[in-house]
Structures are given as C-alpha cells and as structure tokens.
Amino acid sequence: MNRLDKILHLIENSFNGSQVKFAKAINRSPAQVNQWVTNRRTIGDALALHIEQSLNLPSGWLVKKEDNKIKNNQSNDFHLEAPRYIYDDSCPLGDDEIEVPFYTNNSLSAGNGFVSDIYDFNNMKIRFSLTMLNQKGINAKCLVCIVADNDSMEPAIPDGAIVGINTCHTQIKDGKLYAINYDGLLCIRILKKRPGKKILIQSYNFNSYPDEEVDVGAITVIGKIFWWSVLL
C-alpha cells in the first residue's frame, strides 16, 4: 500500500471519510487534501513526516527509514549535497556538517519577523555541508528550512517539497524567489520592485495564483530562497 492509499484508508476509517476533519487534524486546508485525493498526487517525505507527527502515528508508518533521503536537489542559485533529516541528538555532527532548523508547520503570526513568529519547531533539523555554504558566502546561522504546502510555485517547487530560506538576505533583487509573511501567511513568491513603493508578487502557477501588486509595507520579506529539494 503506497502513502496515498494509506492516507485514504486513514481518512475512511479514522475520520469517518471526512477530508475536512483530516485536514484540520494535520493543519492543512481541505482544498489541499482534496487535491491529493482527486489528482492522486505524490506525498513527499516532508509532508508524510508532518502527517505522522501531527497524528501521532507510529514512526515509519508513512516514512520508512530508507525514504528519508533527498534524491534530487534543485535551486535557482546553486546545488548542495543532499541534506538529511535529524530525528534526535544521538548522531554526532560530521566535521563538515551544520544543522539547520526544519519547520514542519508553516503557521505565522501577522507580525513582522519569522523565527519569533513561527509555530511548531519540533526540534527537527536538516544537515548541510558547511563547505558548500561557505563557498557561496552563506552564513549558516541565517538558514531555516520549511515545507512548501501549496501548489503556488508548481511545477518548479511542488507541494510537499523542502525549501531552504536565507533569513539574512531580505533585500529584494528583481526576479528572485523569496519567502514572505503576507498578512500571516508564509508564501514563496517571485518579487519585483515597482515604482511608487510597490512590489509585484508572482507565482510560477500563475493560472491559479495571478500577479498581485502591493504596497511595500503589505509584506515582510523573511528571506531569499537558496535551495529546494524535490523527490522524483
């Protein structure tokens, strides 16, 4: 039984067939859950792990140990060696490894900032090569990872992909990807500066998420996207 079939079985037997109740239990929108079910979309490792933890499912029920390997990296800036999840502190850091906080719940408050506003850190971490980061002049202390939890940036960044954010890079460079706090929503968008202190917000999936032009003060730039990983 694959992941989606397991989830369908769970919805039917533990939530009386209600996608709405299941969505609420895992802190996702009913529309997202319906999209997984209707289109039989692939459930990535990060999303599967989030479901396991949200529902207190037995470890490995959705995410087997051998699944916790990122099979492909993609980035608009550079490629990194595949990072790996850290579930506890029993495995010491390698000589060339650093740990980056991994947030599986992207809920924000409507205020400014990121780390002080985000919920559910869970002590999850991902390890990256320090050498690779240093070669690109990236300060490891500025980095966090999140889960992309909608289809706004598909096909480049699918729902469930893991995304790396450089929170020290908040100055907008036209056409680059940024994580933003938009009235309490954590969004990944292409940003472009416009006259009159306006910002153009764009998505790759422009059919479902049309362009928006907003005042500079309407968003808080959390950081620039430096990496993302997609399971093929």
User: If DSSP states are collapsed to H, E and C, what string results for 100-159?
Assistant: EEECCCCCCCCCCCCCCCCCCCCCCEEEEEHHHHHHCCCCHHHEEEEECCCCCCCCCCCC
Is omega for the bond preceding 58 within 30 degrees of 0, making it cis? no
- 67-97 confidence digits (pLDDT tens): 443 333 334 444 444 455 544 455 677 788 8
Write the DSSP symbol of residue 36. Answer: H
61-65, 122-126, 152-156 — which one is most confidently predicted on average? Answer: 152-156
- 196-223 confidence digits (pLDDT tens): 999 999 998 888 889 999 999 999 899 9
Overall average pLDDT of the 40-54 stretch = 79
Distances from the Cα of 220 to the Cαs of 22, 64, 94, 110, in angstroms?
31, 37, 35, 10
Query: Is the pTM above the cut of 0.85?
Result: no
Domain boundaries defined on the chain: 3-67, 73-229
pLDDT category of residue 153 using cuts at 50, 70 and 90: confident
Question: Is the per-residue pLDDT at 191 higher than 90?
Answer: yes
Instruction: Assess if CATH 3.40.30.10 describes domain 73-229.
Output: no
139 and 151 Cβ atoms separated by less than 8 Å = no
> For the ranges 19-28, 54-63, 140-149, 220-229, which has the lowest average pLDDT?
54-63
- 127-148 confidence digits (pLDDT tens): 888 888 998 899 999 998 888 8
Say what the alpha-carbon torsion angle 148, 153, 154, 157 is, to the nearest 10 degrees.
-50
Res 71: pLDDT:
36
| Phi, psi (degrees; rounded to nearest 5) at 21 | -65, -40
